[in-house]
Amino acid sequence: MEPKSFDEMAEQEFEELLDKISEGTFDDLTLPSFMDTLWALEVARAQEVIEVMATVEEDGLRLSGPEGVIVHGNEIIINGKRIVVKLAGAKS
């Protein structure tokens, strides 16, 4: 039987899943579906979506964001947090 996604679970099923995870007995639960569930929880908590556009330029990455989001080169600052985005395989 394939595990249910977060949005398909009843509240009791979700609580049972958390119990299994905390006990380390989630044999029938795959890591990707567990991570999808955690991601769904984070998305549900997020109240605002900020879209950042990325353009590959030569061997670098250029980002641009909406007003209020500070973007410079491959760096983003949101709510006092600095995010540095790197291309896999790019030379540092």
Q: How confident is the model at residue 2 (pLDDT cuts 50, 70, 90)?
A: low
Cα gap 73→55, rounded to integer Å: 10
pTM assigned to the model: 0.46
Q: Determine the 3-state secondary structure of 74 from DSSP.
A: coil
Lowest mean pLDDT among 7-11, 48-52, 62-66: 7-11
Look up residue 80 and give its two tokens.
């006092």
End-to-end CA distance of the chain: 45
Res. 81: pLDDT tops 80: yes
- pLDDT tens digits, residue range 62-72? 888 888 888 88
- Which token pair is 35? 């991570």
Residues 6+ apart with CB under 8 A from 12: none
pLDDT band at 82 (very low <50, low <70, confident <90, very high): very high
Share of the chain above pLDDT 70, in %: 77
To the nearest 10°, report the CA torsion of 25, 29, 35, 41.
-80
